[in-house]
Structure 1
Amino acid sequence: MQLRKLLAAGAIALMAIPAMAQENVTWWDFLSGGDGVRMKALIARFNKEHTDIKITSTTLEWGIPFYTKVRTSVAVGQGPDVMTYHLSRLPLGLDEGVLDQLTDEDIKNAGVTKDSFFPASIKAASSDDGKLYAVPLDIHSLVLYYNKTLLAGSKFLDAGGKLTGINNLKDFEEALAFAKQKGSVSPISYATGDDGGVYRVFYTLLRQQGGELISGKEVLAGDNLQKAAKSIEVMTKWATNGWQPEQAAYEASVALFTSGKSAFMLNGVWEVPTLVDQEKKGTLGFKWGAVQVPNLMGTQTTWADSHAFAIPAKNKMSPEKRKAVMTVIGWMEKNSLAWAEAGHIPAYKPVAESAEFKKMEPNATYSALANSASYDPRSPIAGVASPAYDAALNIISPAIHGYAEPMAAAEQVKQDLQDKLR
């Protein structure tokens, strides 16, 4: 009887103790495909490991629809607690006033420091006066994929099957000519009829010449106009010589490479899982590798962007909710090795420099590009789904297919973007 009374008293006492409050963190992202699968797995892991915080996630349509939704939600004060954000869109986000500044206390609550990220990514996540508005998750860049089987027996592969001997544009074009002679349908494949595909190749060639697309309030200032024309001229030559596909949509450009019809592919790191999966299934039919885009034009750099985490402006979260949000962000950074499986380079250096990541191929091979990456111009008309991308599709793509001279196209890009910048 005494034991029964004690148990009953204990049960009453436990009922009197208030349950630990669980912070519900509303999350928006634009991640689909392999990226979406990996992020959903990370969210599930976080929720399983945390009883005091729960992420409730929603995936929205990538590009303009996502950023329009963010802008609208902030205007009415109904944005999420945290969202994914392209750092190339940060200047426009600041211009629109949709991003909340992250304080030193926020970063402390995330359990990270600014110094623990690659400098280029932190700069891209900050305003011109150094205030932080996002936390970079990765660095994703254009890389050069290559077909080892097709290049076998050439001077462009070393004994270990690694790409070699491409130190400038002349070397690269020699490799393209070799591939054409070997029967390659399109020696270099990229999305020649797609805004992102054309823009990333153009911008890489421009930046490798030391060129600037936008300087302050001027588009293609000074000799940048000539450098832009040179970039378009190179891409046009690849088309004229039959080295690249004609008006290829994104999916078609990938298929050319995965079917073995292209010796090289200029595409983002996000296609690494496609090749890895096909290789595992035994459906690829050739051996492959991926490296950072070689120094073709004089400077070792390539187009890059970052997925990042940001907090919308005009949020009404409590200090406890904000701390929970930063806990979520910090956990994602520290567990970003799983995210790197999508081909990305972790922006958080402790993960990028870990022994585990150094074993991850081909990521580890091209990871050095994190130190020389060229982000889009810090301008509200640049970045993902921007007027700069529109110009690539509407002006540069027709030019490389012979519908305009390179200099005329560069001048049109200058005029078109300058009108939008005013």
Structure 2
Amino acid sequence: MRGLMTKALATAALLALTVGAQAKETVVWWDFLSGGDGVRMKSLLDQFNKENPDIDIQATTLEWGVPFYTKVQTSAAIGQGPDVMTYHLSRLPLGASTGTLREITPDELKAAGLSADNYGPANWKAAQVDGKQYAIPFDIHSVILYYNKDLLKKAGLLGDDGLPKGLDGAANFEAALAKLTTGPDQVGMSIPTADNGTTWRVFYTLLGQQGGEFITGDKVLDGDNADKATKALAEMAKWTKEGWVPKQTEYPASIAMFTSGKAAMHINGVWEVPTMADLAKSGKLGFEWGAVQIPVIFDQPATWADSHSFAIPDRKGNELSPEKLKAVLTVIKWMNEHSLFWATAGHIPAYLPVTNSEDFKKMEPNATYSSLAKTAVFDPSSKIAGVASPIYDAASNYFMPAFNGDGEPADAVSAAKDELQGLLQ
């Protein structure tokens, strides 16, 4: 009798283990994150797996840009690929138009406890195409103005609060650049002028500060938007023409100019904040630095922005089961709730309970430039826009040469307009 009971108990235990093993949901994850972003995401993934024994994330990192998005599109078309992936919001329109992305319905969002109320209106809208939700924002990343406090103080351009002063308005900004440019060994500002991505981001910021729109309906730079685009590009070209910003500067060189003290200011993405912080911590920077939202050079505050987000591929013939979808949405929500750590990469968390927290408000310089989230201008909602898109190609072929003095801004705008309009026909 005892033997039978022992055998029964052993069988029950084995069944319990089997059921438990079957209940564990595996989530296949793809991302394109490298450098500091990659390190931080790996840490978050490890933490999630430790805290959630019923879900196992199996993560793979692929090459950023066109290779990533091409692989996602081709794999989804044949029912392969991940259960969830990182995705730039600027690429959503193209992803939706090719049938690569799965809609996340209002009922699914509600069941997962994900709500528009917890995100900035512009950021949440950028996660939609034609009113349908295709992604959940994770952050806002933008270009910001890095500055050398020592050099700005010497030039009388630093307030008692340690923030730049006298930079708003084109005339004031130009005067500041001129004052900070004292010779070949010190220029007013460094920008990656040989980088198409940065060229587009600065241009789009200045277009947005005039209330301009790059694409309206199915028209590129329609009406007076072409004039506003020309004005934006002409302002950028003036910076290089006057020698305030060096021409044809590669991305790493522009950073080196700032960190070596040869440029008083620097425009780049928030993702370089860890670079500055690490150099300062190691004592290799040699000066006190800060970072703020891009000054209002024209009519209104506006800054180019994009977001890393989470999206679900529309795998043909291999759709997510209800159980898998629940696990995926659990992962997405958990990542948003733990995005304070992600902010250490320089990003602004998209999840408002985190950005409104006391811990984030103490995080500098993020808290200082987080004001840009309220006036952020996201890339046009178009299949020709976004990271590694035709718009970026146009920035490389037309805007970047004009930025560096090789051609007239008006001609560059006209050529880019004609080429991109042809792609929308």
Which range, TM-score by smaller chain? Answer: over 0.9
1:155·1:165 contact (CA, 8 Å) conserved in 2? no
Shift in Å at residue 317 of structure 1? Answer: 1.9
Structure 1 alignment gaps of length 5 or more: none
Cα distance between partner residues in 1 of 2:234 and 2:357:
41
Cα distance between partner residues in 2 of 1:218 and 1:316:
36
2:196 matched to 1:205? no
Shift in Å at residue 7 of structure 1? Answer: 6.8
Aligned twin of 1:13: 12
Aligned twin of 1:235: 236
Cα distance between partner residues in 1 of 2:111 and 2:82:
19
2:155·2:180 contact (CA, 8 Å) conserved in 1? no
The Cα RMSD (Å) is: 1.7
2:295·2:301 contact (CA, 8 Å) conserved in 1? yes
Structure 2 alignment gaps of length 5 or more: none
Single out whichever of 271-280 and 154-163 deviates more from structure 2. Answer: 154-163
Q: Equivalent of 2:123, from 108, 121, 124? A: 121
Cα distance between partner residues in 2 of 1:7 and 1:363:
61
Shift in Å at residue 5 of structure 1? Answer: 8.9
Residue-by-residue CA offset, 1:230-265 (whole Å, 9 max, x unaligned): 111111111111111211121111111112111111
Aligned twin of 2:293: 292
Q: Equivalent of 1:333, from 331, 336, 347? A: 336
The change in CA–CA distance for 1:182 and 1:242 in structure 2 (over 3 A counts) is closer
Cα distance between partner residues in 1 of 2:144 and 2:227:
25
Q: How many residues align?
A: 420
Give the alignment's TM-score, normalised by structure 2.
0.95
2:197 matched to 1:196? yes
Aligned twin of 1:107: 109
Cα distance between partner residues in 2 of 1:157 and 1:222:
39
2:78 matched to 1:79? no
Aligned twin of 1:367: 370
Shift in Å at residue 387 of structure 1? Answer: 0.9
Letter in 1 for 2:367: A
Residue-by-residue CA offset, 1:336-377 (whole Å, 9 max, x unaligned): 001011111111100010011000000000111111100011
Shift in Å at residue 112 of structure 1? Answer: 2.4
Aligned twin of 1:136: 137
Letter in 2 for 1:19: V
Give the alignment's TM-score, normalised by structure 1.
0.96
Residue-by-residue CA offset, 1:19-50 (whole Å, 9 max, x unaligned): 31211100000000000000000000000111
1:110·1:328 contact (CA, 8 Å) conserved in 2? no
Identity of aligned residues (%): 56
Letter in 1 for 2:296: N
2:405 matched to 1:402? yes
Aligned twin of 1:392: 395
Shift in Å at residue 16 of structure 1? Answer: 3.1
Taking the TM superposition and a 5 Å limit, the aligned residue runs for 1:334-349 are 334-349=337-352
Aligned twin of 2:280: 279
Shift in Å at residue 184 of structure 1? Answer: 5.2
Single out whichever of 373-382 and 180-189 deviates more from structure 2. Answer: 180-189
2:187·2:245 contact (CA, 8 Å) conserved in 1? yes
Aligned twin of 1:263: 264
Letter in 2 for 1:14: A
Cα distance between partner residues in 2 of 1:210 and 1:398:
24
Cα distance between partner residues in 1 of 2:199 and 2:187:
16
Letter in 2 for 1:247: Q
Q: Equivalent of 1:57, from 41, 56, 59? A: 59
Cα distance between partner residues in 2 of 1:280 and 1:400:
34
Single out whichever of 398-407 and 66-75 deviates more from structure 2. Answer: 398-407
Letter in 2 for 1:170: A
Residue-by-residue CA offset, 1:254-309 (whole Å, 9 max, x unaligned): 11111211111111111101111111111111111111111101110010000000
SS at match of 1:145: strand
